Structure 1
Amino acid sequence: MTETFVHPYIPNTAPAVKQAMLDAVDAASVEEFYADVPAELRLQRALDVPEPLPAEQDLARHVRGILAKNRTTEERLSFLGAGTYNHYVPAVVDEVIRRSEFLTAYAGEPYEDHGRFQALFEYQSLMAELLAMDVVNVPTYDGYQATATGLAMAGRMTGRRRVLAVSDVLPEKDSKVRDYTRAQLQIEVVPTTGGTADLDGLRARLGDDVAAVWVETPSFTGAVETQLRAIADAAHAAGAVVVVGTDPIGYGVLTPPAVQGADIVTGDIQSLGLHQWFGGAHAGFIAVHDDPKFVMEMPSRLFGLESTHVPGEYGFGDVAYERTSFALREEGKEWVGTAAALWGIATGVYLSLMGPAGMAELGELLLARTRYAQHVLSQIPGVSLGDDALHLREFTVRLSGIRAADLVTTLRAQGIEPGVVVSEHMLLVCVTDATSASDIDRLAAAIAAAIDTTKEQAA
């Protein structure tokens, strides 16, 4: 590749543009710009990609060939979760978000763009009701960023650096949160007991340098934290902020964290009307009480209801816009983008369709189906539950006589994805409203047969 090459698919590859970007950050070269990226994370070779194709139809054919290798959870019986979930999405959700005024809207606000503002205001209102919170932001990129931002807010508010994580956190989320906050915060893990927080362990580590206590409920393993009120009381006594990372799918029946003492509630809305789509449509939410101390630390946009010069008519627009990176640019407390706003509209449509009764019915179904799956699988010789905590949607099972990876390989050949491998003999299993009792029975029979076969081969 020569210095004058301009790639047709990659922006900012023109030499003059690249040089202008380097000059703006006072870097002598691209290598210097990426100096803080460890060598082991660098590719150290050219990307293995085909040459640029001359025509659009050629590129479309090439991409279709790649996509044809994928298999969806509609084609296979899936018990995969770990952050991206196969919940049913009503057809009307897709119909609404495909409307051009939503699908094509972006950050530049033309005066006629009030439809998007109102849609996002309605989303915020519905989420606030579900979470029993007062203020909910326009979505961030994903739940990982939302939780990281919630912890960063706590650090700015308290002027402290330590964060105590008292739950089992999804490893990918833990990695991203640590990366996002590493310049500001130091995250320490308080090991769990029986799947939930060790309250005595937390109290022993609390001090006047703790910015936040970080709770994940449901946790990585699907355990619901039942001691949140006691955790919040202990954290508040030490002057720390309680930041909860959660999935809102169960709050039609579960008590919301805000009612149990949480100060900042964060998470992902993928479960609420967003498809899996090979890794997920993801968007994050941050929810706080109606307290200026918290609201003014939120870097995300907020849309509110505003009166107009015409009596009886109302409009929708930004609330406290001056605190955002859109207004402050590089002087902002945090940078926040706009790519996930469409998913907020999707979730707004989903919640409006479900209503309180629908969310309650869904929550009860998930709790019942999870317990049924735990019961059926734990009856298999060689299978036991990972803990005895209350679980929503996900849980772990311990396997004896067969490795988790081998079980996955065996069942995958039968069109079943039995779960996510956690360790050599532990599997994370997920059930949703799209999982029937007969699906669970089929999984149990397949696991039992695989264990029996393995024992026979070993004999």
Structure 2
Amino acid sequence: MATHPYIPNSVPEVRDAMLRAVGAASTEEFFADIPAALRMQGPLAIPAPHLSEARLKRHVDGLLRKNTHCASQLSFLGGGCYQHHVPAVCDEVNGRSEFATAYAGEPYDDHGRFQALFEYCSMMGELLEMDVVNVPVYDGMQAAATTVRMAGRHTGRRRVVVAGHINPDKLAVMQNYGRADLDFVLAPFDRASGLLDMAALAGLLDRDTAALYVDIPSFLGTIDDGAALAAAAHAVGALLVVGVDPVSLGVLAPPASYGADIVCGDIQPLGIHMNYGGGQGGFIASHDDPAIVMQYPSRLFGVVPTSVPGEYGFGDVAYSRTSFDKRENGNEFVGTAAALWGITAGVFLALMGPQGMVELATGIVQRTAYAKQRLARIPGVRVTHEGSCHFREFVVNFEGTGLPVAAINAALLKQGVFGGHDLSTDFPALGQSALYAFSEVHTQEDIDQLCATLEKVIGQ
């Protein structure tokens, strides 16, 4: 491999010193234990290096200019990552050096980080009406995967029934996490209403079922009857695990109120920018049931008295259950927590308060309802689950236009609009359909512009 200015170990003298230190004569000898079929036979396809910082900066700036982002385009994409207004104080606090630079919440000096995370967990607990909330994991998809594994360990069962209107990417993560000790079965949803088929679900739940997992609102934006789902799961001794958009709790009852045993989701809507695949953080919540609490693999922060009378400190709870303590015998590997995003979400929740969350969610419901009415008036366009309630997102069918979603989205993009998430591959039963998302950043004029642009591209 040629010497590369930004890969220190590519310097021959450095590489040779490393090989000497481990007693290997060559790189090939060092990797001898790895079967040849699993090793890359040839050099990495790394471009030639830019030999000055100025040239490298110009190259990177050129790459960035190719990107089209939602600050410059009108966007109606969603599906798990959402465009919201981020208050300036969220960026101000999460950019502070005592928070931004500490790895996984473990600075040498605390600087209030543990207390900030404790306050975040407390506010999330209030929003969710749950007693225990974890320090955030990587994202909501990992949180969902972890919750069903928790249910499997708690019940001693393998079978997990998953609502069929789940985000396919989330399902893939859940299957990947649980493939060694869980079996996944999809429960069908009704194409007309977008709600779970309760009769079919009843036939899938049995005494081998560890958990019923459902998102409320669903990936398609519909809102199932949580109390009926809880009753069905509990009738066979299974746990009800609910994935939830935390913003929706400004208008929807929290899952704990209708019988959910474990709740999870993503905190990205809580003051965190869409971030090129980042900016996600997964929360898990439950009641203070020791049998379930001990199944958490992630960190839990609490407040405890110190050795000084009247003084308290913030830190880990039930540390012995984590992989930090048990290593390979832990419930799961803890890994790097998304602690910075937890602090950011805490700032957002403190700023909004209960009334602010109600106003935020109410505004989204109003925009969603208006968008459903406006889009339904476009010739050839149909709101698929028009009779159902929706939060933030809903399915729009374009079969009547004679055009595939991909072509419509390409035409919209030329007009400066990101169309809805194409569902035609992941949900073929819905035909040429797209998932459109709305938030408080969309004005009535934005929605009218979307409809006018759609009419234009469909009529061409």
Q: Same fold (TM over 0.5)?
A: yes
Tell me which residue corresponds to 1:366.
364
Separation in structure 2 between the aligned mates of residue 359 and residue 190 of structure 1, nearest angstrom: 32
Shift of 1:244: 1.1
Q: Note closer, same or farther for the CA distance 1:334–1:27 as it changes in structure 2 (3 Å cut).
A: farther
For 1:436, the aligned partner's letter is T
* Corresponding letter in the other structure for 1:240: A
- Tell me if structure 2 keeps the 8 A contact 1:114–1:316: no
CA distance in 2, matches of 1:108, 1:271: 21
Report the Cα distance in structure 2 between the residues aligned to 1:50 and 1:228, rounded to whole angstroms: 53
| In structure 1, distance between residues paired with 2:171 and 2:391 | 20
1:98 equivalent in alignment to 2:103:
no
Tell me if structure 1 keeps the 8 A contact 2:298–2:322: yes
Q: TM-score of the superposition, structure 1-length normalised? A: 0.90
* Residues 1:300 and 2:301 are matched in the alignment: no
Whether the 8 Å contact between 2:105 and 2:114 is mirrored in structure 1 is no
User: 2:121 is matched with which residue?
Assistant: 124
Could you tell me which runs of 5 or more consecutive residues in structure 2 were left unpaired when the two chains were aligned: 425-430
Name the CA distance, whole Å, in 2 between partners of 1:437 and 1:313.
53
Aligned residues: 439
2:419 alignment counterpart: 418
Deviation per CA, 1:359-401: give whole Å up to 9, x if none.
0001111111101101100111101112132111111111122
Determine helix, strand or coil for the equivalent of 1:196: coil
Is the alpha carbon distance of 1:52 and 1:145 closer, same or farther for their aligned partners in structure 2, counting shifts above 3 Å? Answer: same
Runs of at least 5 residues in structure 1 that lack an aligned partner in the other structure: 36-42, 454-459
Q: TM-score, with normalisation over the residues of structure 2?
A: 0.89
Q: After superposition, what is the alpha-carbon deviation per residue over 1:58-94, rounded to whole angstroms, capped at 9, x for unaligned? A: 4333322222211220100000111110011000000
Encode CA deviations 1:207-246: one digit per residue, 9 max, x unaligned.
1111110101111111122x11111111111111111112
How far apart, CA to CA, are the structure 2 residues paired with 1:140 and 1:7? 31
Q: Which residue does 1:456 correspond to in 2?
A: none
Structure 2 residue aligned with 1:446: 453
Cα pair 1:408 1:418 within 8 Å, conserved: yes
Q: Which residue is 2:221 aligned to?
A: 222
The secondary structure found in structure 2 opposite 1:164 is strand
Q: Deviations over 1:243-271 (max 9, x none)?
A: 11121111011001111111110111111
Q: Which residue of 1 aligns with 2:406?
A: 405
Q: Which amino acid aligns with 2:211?
A: A
Q: 1:379 aligns with which of 365, 369, 377?
A: 377
Distance in 2, Cα, partners of 1:44 & 1:429: 45
Amino acid at match of 1:76: Q
Q: Does 1:29 align with 2:34?
A: yes
Distance 1:16 1:89 in 2: 52
CA pair 45-142 structure 1, distance change in 2 beyond 3 A? farther
What is residue 433 of structure 1 aligned with on the other side? 440
Q: Where does residue 349 of structure 2 map in the other structure?
A: 351
Cα distance in 1 between the residues matched to 2:208 and 2:197 = 20
**Cα distance in 1 for residues equivalent to 2:254 and 2:440:** 21
Q: What amino acid maps onto 1:132 in structure 2?
A: E
Distance apart, 1:27 and its partner CA: 8.3
Task: Give me the whole-angstrom Cα distance separating, in 2, the residues matched to 1:346 and 1:178.
Answer: 30
Code of the residue aligned with 1:157 in structure 2: it is: H
1:450 partner amino acid: V
Structure 2 CA distance for partners of 1:101 and 1:404, relative to 1, 3 Å:
same
CA–CA distance in structure 2, aligned partners of residues 345 and 239 of structure 1:
36
Does residue 62 of the first structure (1) align with residue 59 of the second (2)? yes
Instruction: Please say if residues 187 and 201 of structure 2, whose CA atoms lie closer than 8 Å, have aligned partners that are also in contact.
Output: yes
Match of 2:428 in 1: none
User: Which secondary structure state, in structure 1, belongs to the residue aligned with residue 423 of structure 2?
Assistant: strand
Query: What's the RMSD between the two structures over aligned residues?
Result: 2.6
Residues in 1 aligned to 2:203 and 2:351: alpha-carbon distance in whole angstroms: 46
| Pair 1:105–1:217, CA change in 2 (3 A) | same
How many percent identity over aligned positions? 50
Question: Deviations along 1:104-145, whole A, 9 cap, x unmatched?
Answer: 112474553151000000010011111111100000001110
Deviation at 1:427, TM superposition (A): 1.2
Q: Which amino acid aligns with 1:438?
A: E
